[in-house]
């Protein structure tokens, strides 16, 4: 099939075939459900769209014809139950294949889908339901999801409730409800600039914010899927991540299907590396997108112990990639990890890829979908090599596709995102003359010691090179003399003793090759680093030390 995505994306390449510029082409009423999924369901109804498996040995295959048909049935169900454009549907579905059906159905009607993590407490669910004004919920029956969500729904007065996996107290059986719904529908009246998604960010301070995205947000995921993840017609792409997190939009949904790539989705309670590796081998997966934590688990088992010869591309994101892990993956697979930098508010900003190249230490090259600059504290744009905040410019006043519409029901926080035509990310970096981005960390996570600004990631990058360090986290601890005392928290590799001698060895190892103001002042051994539900290290976990 001819390049389907070119219906919506126009690209320019240099003489070496590298992407240099791009633009979007879409109608005022663009809708991913009607304009991407339904045409694919008609043009190639038997082409596989997803292979779904779980840790209990179950397997389901969906074609594009299935996705078109089931999403239309679901949309008809929602409409029959009184849901209308702008209504919010909360989905806590783990990584069940039904999530993708519900999402496309919601998009078709112009509903606002609110994906959330299924392990939230009843209080967490209730907060999100009240904040977003939820009108309906759908959930799975693993863990306490259905119980907690029911409690929250009853508290907030949400009476329209569905569950997958059969009947459950307080819920209607989703599959039974859609069974007799029509497989055709009239196109609903939607516009490209209307909202379809609201994600709650994990946040570092205060209550989670509700990030709102519009109908063309799915198109902006073209770049990550095509370049960083190398998804193409005939590929089979595997990615981790619960559907409650925005990462799923960019790693196993919109861009992948826009390029006719099939998804390999593996559902589990606790990540089972041996089962996943066996699945990748059996299904002949062509690409992986995962966090460093996942790659560490896979390499600990041994990726070279399985036949992964079908792999052609590996991508990584979500947290800083350590050099030792990158080398380990390369040794076991022969493939370089393609790193990237993204935010919930604007998706992928920079990436390493076969097309755009890579540079040691960089999180990638800025994607041409955005005009990115580095903004210094004095308000001037930085020259190559100067540190500052990563910002995105709205050239000519038009805000780029892919950037959040703002925070739902939070005008003050929304106003802080934009300063005229400048979108603030709150992240610090250096950009070189070729457009490669060297990430330094959150602006509010930078350690300030003795008048100096120090990136914890930079220090962690050095400390983790010691063979005894499995992983580490560096933070600033309040100190009356220094402002903040640079402190390291270290998880040791097996066979290394967490004693005073080891502490002194690590301090000497790091401080002997670091500038004076970057020296680690104290070091503690910990059994593990706390992570959020998406596998990312929680940077503020030792803030009360």
pLDDT tens-place string over residues 342-377: 888 888 999 998 888 889 889 999 999 999 999 998
Rounded CA-CA distance 379/358 in Å is 29
The span from the CA of 361 to the CA of 457, in Å, is 11
Structure confidence at residue 206 as a pLDDT band (50, 70, 90): low
12 has which bridge partners?
21
Query: Would the pLDDT of 235 be above 80?
Result: yes
Q: What is the pLDDT of residues 97-148, one digit of tens each?
A: 999 999 999 999 999 999 999 988 898 899 999 999 999 999 999 989 999 9
Q: Which two tokens stand for residue 180?
A: 């007799």
What's the whole-number mean pLDDT along residues 78-105? Answer: 98
Cα 38 to Cα 36: distance, rounded to the nearest angstrom: 6
Give the pLDDT score at 514: 80
pLDDT score at 454:
82
What is the chain's mean pLDDT, rounded? 92
Asked whether the predicted pLDDT for residue 540 surpasses 80, the reply is no
pLDDT digits (tens, 9 = 90+) for 162-175: 999 988 999 999 99
Tokens for 41, please give them. 């369901």
Is pLDDT at 536 greater than 80 in this prediction?
Answer: no
Query: Which residues face 136 on adjacent strands?
Result: 89, 160
How large a percentage of the chain has pLDDT more than 70?
97
SS3 category, 473: strand
Task: Choose among 328, 377, 323, 317: nearest CA to 350.
Answer: 317
In Å, what is the CA distance from 9 to each residue of 61, 136, 264, 417? 29, 34, 25, 26
Q: What is the pLDDT of residue 204?
A: 40
pLDDT in tens, 38-70: 999 999 999 999 999 999 999 999 999 999 999
Indicate the pTM of the whole model: 0.85
pLDDT band at 2; cut points 50, 70, 90? low
Q: Which of 414-423, 439-448, 456-465, 494-503 has the highest mean pLDDT?
A: 494-503
User: Looking at residue 171, what DSSP letter applies?
Assistant: B
CA angle 439/443/447 to nearest 5° reads: 95
Look at the chain and count its residues. 545
CA distances from 526 to 102, 476, 507 (A): 42, 17, 16
Alpha helices in 215-354 (DSSP H): 222-223, 247-251, 254-258, 273-283, 292-301, 323-333
Identify any residues that bridge with 441 across adjacent strands, giving them in sequence order: 428
- What whole-number distance in Å separates Cα of residue 249 and Cα of residue 246? 6
Tell me the mean pLDDT in the region 291-297: 90
Residue pointed to by tokens 């003489």: 15
- The pLDDT score that the predictor gives to residue 209 is 83
Nearest Cα neighbor of 225 from 252, 191, 245, 190 is 252
Q: HSE, CB side, 13 Å, CA atoms: give it for residue 438.
A: 16
Mean pLDDT for 264-286 is 97
Phi, psi (degrees; rounded to nearest 5) at 57: 90, 5
C-beta neighbour count of 386 within 10 angstroms? 12
């Amino acid at each position: 099939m001819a390049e389907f995505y070119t219906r919506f994306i126009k690209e320019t390449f240099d003489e070496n075939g590298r992407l240099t510029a791009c633009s979007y082409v879409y109608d005022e009423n663009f809708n991913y459900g009607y304009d991407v999924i339904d045409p694919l369901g008609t043009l190639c109804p038997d082409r596989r769209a997803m292979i779904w498996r779980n840790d209990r040995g179950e397997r389901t295959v969906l074609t594009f014809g299935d996705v078109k048909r089931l999403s239309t049935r679901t949309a008809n169900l929602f409409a029959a139950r009184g849901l209308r454009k702008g209504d919010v549907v909360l989905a806590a579905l783990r990584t069940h294949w039904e999530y993708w059906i519900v999402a496309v159905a919601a998009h078709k009607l112009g509903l606002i889908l609110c994906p959330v993590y299924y392990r939230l407490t009843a209080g967490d669910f209730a907060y999100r339901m009240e904040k977003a004004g939820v009108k309906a919920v759908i959930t799975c029956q693993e863990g306490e999801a259905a119980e907690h969500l029911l409690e929250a729904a009853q508290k907030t007065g949400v009476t329209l409730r569905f569950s997958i996996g059969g009947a459950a107290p307080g819920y209607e059986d989703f599959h039974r409800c859609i069974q007799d719904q029509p497989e055709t529908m009239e196109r609903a009246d939607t516009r490209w600039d209307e909202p379809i998604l609201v994600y709650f960010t994990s946040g570092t301070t205060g209550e989670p914010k509700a990030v709102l995205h519009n109908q063309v947000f799915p198109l902006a995921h073209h770049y990550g899927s095509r370049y960083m993840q190398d998804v193409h017609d005939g590929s089979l792409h595997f990615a981790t991540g619960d559907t409650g997190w925005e990462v799923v939009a960019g790693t196993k949904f919109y861009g992948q299907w826009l390029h006719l790539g099939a998804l390999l989705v593996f559902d589990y309670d606790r990540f089972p590396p041996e089962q996943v590796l066996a699945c990748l081998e059996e299904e002949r997966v062509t690409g992986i997108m995962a966090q460093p934590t996942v790659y560490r688990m896979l390499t600990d088992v041994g990726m070279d112990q399985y036949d992964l010869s079908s792999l052609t591309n590996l991508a990584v994101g979500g947290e800083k990639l350590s050099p030792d892990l990158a080398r380990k993956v390369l040794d076991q697979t022969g493939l370089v990890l393609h790193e990237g930098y993204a935010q919930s508010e604007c998706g992928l900003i920079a990436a390493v890829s076969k097309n755009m190249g890579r540079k040691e230490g960089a999180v990638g090259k800025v994607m041409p979908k955005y005009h990115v600059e580095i903004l210094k504290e004095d308000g001037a744009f930085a020259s190559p090599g100067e540190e500052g905040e990563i910002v995105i410019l709205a050239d000519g006043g038009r805000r780029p596709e892919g950037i959040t519409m703002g925070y739902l029901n939070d005008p003050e926080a929304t106003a802080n995102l934009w300063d005229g035509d400048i979108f603030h990310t709150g992240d610090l970096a250096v950009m070189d003359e070729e457009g490669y981005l060297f990430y330094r960390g959150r602006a509010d996570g930078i350690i300030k010691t003795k008048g100096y600004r120090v990136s914890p990631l930079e220090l962690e990058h050095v400390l983790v090179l010691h063979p005894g360090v499995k992983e580490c986290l560096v933070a600033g601890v309040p100190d009356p003399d220094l402002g903040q005392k640079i402190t390291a928290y270290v998880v040791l590799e097996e066979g290394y003793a967490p004693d005073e001698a080891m502490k002194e060895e690590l301090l000497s190892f790091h401080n002997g090759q670091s500038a004076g103001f970057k020296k680690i002042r104290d070091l503690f051994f910990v059994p593990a680093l706390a992570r959020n539900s998406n596998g990312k290290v929680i940077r503020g976990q030792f803030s009360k030390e």
